[in-house]
Structure 1
Amino acid sequence: MRSYIVGVGMTRFEKPETRDWQYWDMAKEAGTAALADASLAYRDIQQAVTGYCFQASTAGQRAVYELGLTGVPVYNVNNNCATGSTALMMARQFVEGGASDCVLALGFEKMARGSLGGGGADGGAGDFKTSPVARHYAVMAAAHGFEMTPPTAQIFGNAAREHMERYGTTEAQLAAVAAKNHRHSAGNPYAQFQAPYTVDEVLAAKPVHLPLTRLQCSPTSDGAAAAVVVSERFVERHDLGARAVEIAAQAMTTDTEASFASGTCVDAVGLPMSREAARQVYEASGTGPDDLDVIELHDCFSINELLTYEALGLCGEGESGPLAESGATTHGGRWVVNPSGGLISKGHPLGATGIAQAAELTWQLRGEAGARQVPGARTALAHNIGLGGAAVVTLLRR
């Protein structure tokens, strides 16, 4: 059975404490927008999958109760930064498995100011023996030691150092990723940051964990996003064909021995997971990198966009730095990657990120993305990853 996204909505992503709102307020805003986009009411929803990382258990119920009190099943999902795409995947599985015809995927996050830590609800690196990311940070500590910089930025910054040493990747190539995404966000009213920056300005920004500067790191954010996922028969019954975007293929992978065997941060932050998830999606959909028009990928740090170019097959191993500088991943190039501004500029409320990617790509495939529209986009790919770990790749088609 095929599944389709027929409605999407999101809030603007904002710096924590910018607006006096609670997570259920932002969830109501995004969920109401998604239902209106689909011309549906909450009573049409048969199940709801909610994703978040920093709220209490059953926060999903508190959020969807703002949309209606219909008694439908509500599932609460936490899969680190891949939470939103995990919720979307569960919604798709309910539909394709025949359990439901109309499912809401809703992701939200109300975060604290400051740098995101290494794992756990307190946002800190915690005790390596008990942390969910103990294996990942142990790889980093063995290879590079452990410094007094934000742990998540540290493991990705060390992955950047490894890539530079191995392939000659330059600081300017890393900065080119961030400059592109900040430039893209200028056309996105939902983005937390909408100011463009040059490569030189990115390089001159405050260091976080070199070679990464502040403008190469995704910020903590408040926000929510929602998507309504339905069956083919639901589309036909409600005459939603003009709004429907097919979820043509989707895969989730978790860590294997490949994440840790090399002892590198490049692998520990998820390159093998991303590569395998992409392989499965390409195989299931009969597509490849050359078939893609627009991509939203998980640029939590500029280095992860480069690593994901390689994982998705946009270029060969070690060739992502030159690809970033070439203009191939922006408007007028071979692909447009992160037209929303990506996590670096749009923002990164963990539970909402994966669904916000799907919202952006749905708008792109419908031709509704305004100033950031990719002309003639027909095939889109989303990539969302979380340490711990999980990588979700989704192919959307119009």
Structure 2
Amino acid sequence: MSKAYVIGVGMTKFMKPGRTSEDYPLLAKKALASALEDCKITLKEIQQAFVGYVYGDSTSGQRAIYEVGMTGMPIYNVNNNCATGSTAVYLAKEAIESGKSECVLALGFDKMERGSFSLKFQDRTSPLDRHENILKETVGLDKEVALPIQLFNHAGLEHMKKYGTKLEHFAKIAYKNHKHSVNNPNSQFQDEYALPQILDSPTMFGMLTKLQCCPTSDGAAGAVLASENFVKAHKLENQAVEIVGMEMVTDFPDSFDKSFINLVGCDMTKKAAERLFKKTNHKPTDVQVVELHDCFSVNELLTYEALGLCEPGQAGEMIDNGDNTYGGKYVVNPSGGLISKGHPLGATGVAQCAELCWQLRGEAGKRQVEGAKLALQHNVGLGGTVILGLYKLGFPATKSK
């Protein structure tokens, strides 16, 4: 099986919906052009493309790429909720590893509506009806509040009850991610807040305050993947990042066992992590930098344990010890994460890939993680999908020259 390498990445600044006049074709064009420029190839050299978006009509992927050129290549439109972007990367990797393609594009974008995420079709079964039913049966469903925040709020409360986690632990995650975002020019928000400001910001639902929730966003990101032969033919060894492994997992029966922690994807994450680290002969403690899906501060805390970065029930201790930021065991979300960077659903997973490539290439500027050699990506979409990716420099000896 051929190895897959990321040879070029690019992204736009993520922005609040309504504040930019740029439509999705232009956003995608900027991200794609940046990724192509990064690896110094042309669109004609890409043999197929996987394009992810959630807020858009069918074949928006074609319309986005046509802004750069029309080559006749296969273009696949991808939608996997919040895990859409990483799904595009996963499919691009599979295309390279199969040997059917030498150079493939993963592109993600979204131009979202302002306000909370909501379903579009009210005349048919919701893909999240199982989640809704569990809410109704256990704690009650608030029809006036977006479903995701209700689910994550109750998952956080469950963790507090089970392990004694404090509200401050969730707030410290948001504090960290806002602090990290100050050094990311692509982040939607670049403001640092004191811990009391996080806790005292307006309540969105239950225990979650505004500064602990990701915003809706407009934005795009692109990644060009290639085979080893393509890398060497184009002399791109000094920047090629190997995808050591990726795992995609969907829901299990246990996901609906009325544990909110499982309902928001932690059982999927745990299984994906077990498979990923076993297949790659690595362990969680080998990782230095992580980009994970902090749609809410609750999810980041839960994900520490699901990924194996710490033992179950020890996330609070990990946070208190500073083992999730610079100077600790891991640096989690140096980009600012979804909470600060923003969350255009289709772009998020590709943007995570881009950030980790910059980290491994030593090109992350002021947010650079010293000694970053192995990077971990986590992206989750309710309904449900979890995708994990493990990355390292493909040719480190070449990079050091």
Question: For this structure pair, what is the TM-score category when the shorter chain's length is used for normalisation?
Answer: over 0.9
Indicate if the aligned counterparts of 1:9 and 1:30 stay in contact, CA closer than 8 A.
yes
Alignment correspondent of 1:61: 62
2:358 corresponds to 1:363: yes
Alignment correspondent of 2:17: 16
Q: Deviations over 1:119-142 (max 9, x none)?
A: x336xxx58x71101112212222
- Aligned 1:187-336 pairs, distance under 5 A: 187-261=183-257, 263-336=258-331
Alignment correspondent of 1:160: 156
Shift of 1:325: 2.2
Shift of 1:164: 1.0
Indicate if the aligned counterparts of 1:139 and 1:264 stay in contact, CA closer than 8 A.
no
Supply the AA of the counterpart residue of 1:121.
K
Supply the AA of the counterpart residue of 1:278.
A
2: CA distance, partners of 1:149 / 1:135: 17
2:132 corresponds to 1:137: yes
2: CA distance, partners of 1:219 / 1:255: 25
1: CA distance, partners of 2:234 / 2:386: 33
Alignment correspondent of 2:80: 79
Alignment correspondent of 2:369: 374
Q: Deviations over 1:324-381 (max 9, x none)?
A: 2221010011100000000000000000000000000000000000000001111000
2: CA distance, partners of 1:25 / 1:133: 32
Q: TM-score, with normalisation over the residues of structure 1?
A: 0.97
2: CA distance, partners of 1:295 / 1:140: 31
Q: Deviations over 1:280-307 (max 9, x none)?
A: 1101111111100100000000010011
Shift of 1:9: 0.2
SS in 1 for 2:170: helix
Supply the AA of the counterpart residue of 1:333.
G
Instruction: Compute the RMSD of aligned alpha carbons.
Output: 1.0
2: CA distance, partners of 1:5 / 1:165: 42
Q: Deviations over 1:163-215 (max 9, x none)?
A: 11111111100000000000000000000000011211100000011210010
Supply the AA of the counterpart residue of 1:337.
V
Supply the AA of the counterpart residue of 1:34.
A
SS in 1 for 2:19: coil
2:165 corresponds to 1:178: no
Shift of 1:320: 1.0
Shift of 1:114: 0.6
Q: Deviations over 1:106-159 (max 9, x none)?
A: 000000101113xx336xxx58x7110111221222221012322211111111
2: CA distance, partners of 1:354 / 1:340: 13
1: CA distance, partners of 2:313 / 2:125: 34
Q: Deviations over 1:260-289 (max 9, x none)?
A: 12x121110000000111111101111111
Give % identity.
51
- Aligned 1:19-98 pairs, distance under 5 A: 19-98=20-99
Q: Which moved more, 1:157-166 or 1:225-234?
A: 157-166
Q: Deviations over 1:59-78 (max 9, x none)?
A: 00000001111100000000
1: CA distance, partners of 2:161 / 2:72: 56
- How many residue pairs get aligned? The number is 391
1: CA distance, partners of 2:176 / 2:320: 10
2:359 corresponds to 1:343: no
Q: Which runs of 5+ in 2 are unaligned?
A: 394-401
Indicate if the aligned counterparts of 1:140 and 1:158 stay in contact, CA closer than 8 A.
no
Supply the AA of the counterpart residue of 1:146.
L
Indicate if the aligned counterparts of 1:140 and 1:264 stay in contact, CA closer than 8 A.
no
2:124 corresponds to 1:121: no
Supply the AA of the counterpart residue of 1:165.
K
2: CA distance, partners of 1:168 / 1:199: 20
SS in 1 for 2:343: coil
Q: TM-score, with normalisation over the residues of structure 2?
A: 0.96
Shift of 1:395: 0.2
2: CA distance, partners of 1:243 / 1:17: 36
Q: Which runs of 5+ in 1 are unaligned?
A: none
Supply the AA of the counterpart residue of 1:63.
A
Q: Deviations over 1:220-258 (max 9, x none)?
A: 000000000000110111111011000000000000111
Indicate if the aligned counterparts of 1:104 and 1:227 stay in contact, CA closer than 8 A.
yes
Shift of 1:8: 0.2
2: CA distance, partners of 1:139 / 1:256: 15
SS in 1 for 2:248: strand
SS in 2 for 1:322: helix
Supply the AA of the counterpart residue of 1:313.
G
2: CA distance, partners of 1:252 / 1:71: 29
